[in-house]
Chain A
Amino acid sequence: MAAVSGLVRRPLQQVTVRDAINQGMDEELERDEKVFLLGEEVAQYDGAYKVSRGLWKKYGDKRIIDTPISEMGFAGIAVGAAMAGLRPICEFMTFNFSMQAIDQVINSAAKTYYMSGGLQPVPIVFRGPNGASAGVAAQHSQCFAAWYGHCPGLKVVSPWSSEDAKGLIKSAIRDNNPVVVLENELMYGVPFEFPAEAQSKDFLIPIGKAKIERQGTHITVVSHSRPVGHCLEAATVLSKEGIECEVINMRTIRPMDIETIEASVVKTNHLITVEGGWPQFGVGAEICARIMEGISEKLVLEYSQAIINIVYLNTYWIRRLKPAFSPRSCIQFPGCSRCSCHWC
């Protein structure tokens, strides 16, 4: 369906994540003429994944720009534009290709506000699909949440639902800092119910605040992006056995909302982190470190209550393997085949 804003919005309609991002960008392009979008195939092809469908027809060549296949080139051009006063949205076809341009993202964008003593802000948004897709193998499946989340000067967000996607892309565009928006290709076509307030042109989700998607008392499950959906499915299965999971959707990787996670762990005494990135030095590892450092006085962790990190080994062949573990109360997630438990 065409996603140009101006359509009559019915209350509580089903909106896909793709259309939500499209609406968010459309509204911000309309609101501020300094905002523009550049990337591979964003204009005439309507977007490699059709996320920018209809925008080139509406805004033209000057606002929606097709670039050559040179991530370092066009990411750098976007950074220069941001320095000169425009507000670019730089789309990477997937974040795997952002590795080509990572110097521009980190050294030219993230560090400049600090290194100029506050003189030179860089109001840029880098967005695109992150993490695994269906059968695209190792070079096209990397999750960059931990890599970008490591860097001071960057904000990193990772939406799951349509509401997240629209609110976070709008906040990212309005933010004067470089913001990395890690979308997920497999989520683009998934419809969600769009609450009434999300249909407003000023609907923003604050960067740095997590959302508790499901209240629970027995175990805290923290995740971001597509795995949040899997956590909610697992929570439904477990609640039939009488285990109530509290599922937290991080929404923002950096600055991380550790307070929400902490408050939940203090309540439940159990924590599982679920992510699509690699385990070593990952998002789950950071959450564990912060929880262990921060709340060791509020909470005594007994030997049997260690934190479980669950990561997806997401290549096509691995999906066929059975999970090779069986700790006491471990939740089996679809597609997951490995668990790194701290006590094993």
Chain B
Amino acid sequence: MRKNGFLLTIMLAAVSRVLSGAAQKPASRVLVASRNFANDATFEIKKCDLHRLEEGPSVTTVLTREDGLKYYRMMQTVHRMELKADQLYKQKIILGFCHLCDGREACCVGLEAGINPTDHLITAYRAHGFTFTRGLSVREILAELTGRKGGCAKGKGGSMHMYVKNFYGGNGIVGAQVPPGAVCILLH
């Protein structure tokens, strides 16, 4: 008993030394930090190589709390929708092909954050997330996946053929989206 108590004391002393070592800040600063939180955050972006351009995109960007929460909500929605689609696919309620983007929601949400609704977008077969961020509801997307007439293409397109204004799918043939996508050169 005495031996255990002695060991315990040593351990406690060691732990308190570690803790006090970690909290190097003076007490006043710790108090101030716990009451302040940022309303926006600044991020550095890697500079792009430029070809025949004078200026590239900006190297810093500011994310406001409002936008951050909005993106988080969108990503969560896409994530849960994709998990559900995964489950439905395994139950064979969704047939054919089903390419999911749970885990890569940041691609579609981040892309949409950087463009306008009037810009044109085309993608390959992993289209569910982009369809959502371009404006379709989860209900329409899941209805399309399950082949119902309430789906955005009345059930005739499925996973890879969802279209919204200024969003040209969804292409089943790998790489086939590249030439139609190059049309933005012609349009502008």
* A76-84, A211-219, A303-311: which lies at the interface: A76-84
* A24-32, A116-124, A158-166, A275-283: which lies at the interface: A116-124
Q: How far is the CB of B149 from chain A (nearest CB, A)?
A: 8
Q: Is the CB of A74 within 8 A of B179?
A: yes
Which residues on B sit within 8 Å (CB–CB) of A80? 122, 168, 179-183
Q: Is the CB of A83 within 8 A of B180?
A: yes
Given the contacts A83-B168, A108-B171, A118-B154, A77 and B163 also touching, CB distance less than 8 Å: no
- A103 touches which of B120, B152, B156, B173 (Cβ 8 Å): B173
Q: How far is the CB of A42 from chain B (nearest CB, A)?
A: 14
What 9 A-B pairs are tightest by C-beta distance, nearest first? A76-B179, A80-B180, A80-B183, A117-B154, A117-B153, A115-B157, A115-B161, A116-B163, A81-B183
Render A184-203 as a binary contact track against B, CB cut-off 8 A, 1 for contact. Answer: 00000000000000000000
Task: Count chain B residues whose beta carbon lies closer than 8 angstroms to a beta carbon of A.
Answer: 26
Q: Is the CB of A75 within 8 A of B157?
A: no
Q: Is the CB of A73 within 8 A of B179?
A: yes
Total A-B residue contacts, Cβ distance less than 8 Å: 78
Q: Is the CB of A116 within 8 A of B169?
A: yes
> A74 CA to B185 CA in the complex, in Å?
12
16 contacts between A and B (CB under 8 A): A73-B179, A77-B180, A79-B180, A80-B122, A80-B168, A81-B186, A84-B120, A104-B180, A108-B180, A112-B169, A116-B156, A117-B151, A117-B153, A117-B157, A119-B153, A119-B163
Task: Count chain A residues whose beta carbon lies closer than 8 angstroms to a beta carbon of B.
Answer: 25
Q: How far is the CB of B102 from chain A (nearest CB, A)?
A: 24
Q: Is the CB of A77 within 8 A of B179?
A: yes
Render B154-188 as a binary contact track against A, CB cut-off 8 A, 1 for contact. Answer: 11110001010000110111001011111101110
Which residues on B sit within 8 Å (CB–CB) of A114? 156
Which residues on B sit within 8 Å (CB–CB) of A81? 183, 186-187
Render B116-147 as a binary contact track against A, CB cut-off 8 A, 1 for contact. Answer: 00001010000000000000000000000000
Q: Is the CB of B156 within 8 A of A115?
A: yes
Interface centre among B151, B152, B186 (most CB of A within 10 A): B186
